């Protein structure tokens, strides 16, 4: 998608830049680029399973440590 902004007669550079930024914002080009920039590959089923198991184990360890901690 190509945006073309041409300077109008007697238009100041500041208003030209303002018009350009407005059209870029309305077109949604920046949003698409940012989404592509930070795109992550989806995890495989095995990787999801391992991360869930790791979280469960860490949660249990924290509960045990909290029970054994000295009361204040």
pTM: 0.49
C-beta neighbour count of 19 within 10 angstroms = 15
DSSP 8-state class, residue 28? T
Cβ atoms 7, 20 nearer than 8 A: no
- pLDDT tens across the length of the chain (72 residues): 688 889 999 999 999 999 999 999 999 998 888 888 888 889 999 999 999 999 999 999 999 999 888 776
């Amino acid at each position: 998608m190509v945006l073309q902004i041409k300077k109008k007669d007697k238009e100041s550079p500041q208003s030209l830049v303002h018009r350009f930024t407005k059209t870029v914002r309305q077109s949604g080009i920046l949003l698409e680029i940012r989404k592509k920039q930070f795109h992550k590959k989806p995890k495989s089923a095995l990787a999801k399973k391992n991360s869930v198991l790791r979280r469960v184990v860490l949660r249990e360890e924290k509960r045990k440590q909290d029970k054994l901690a000295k009361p204040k």
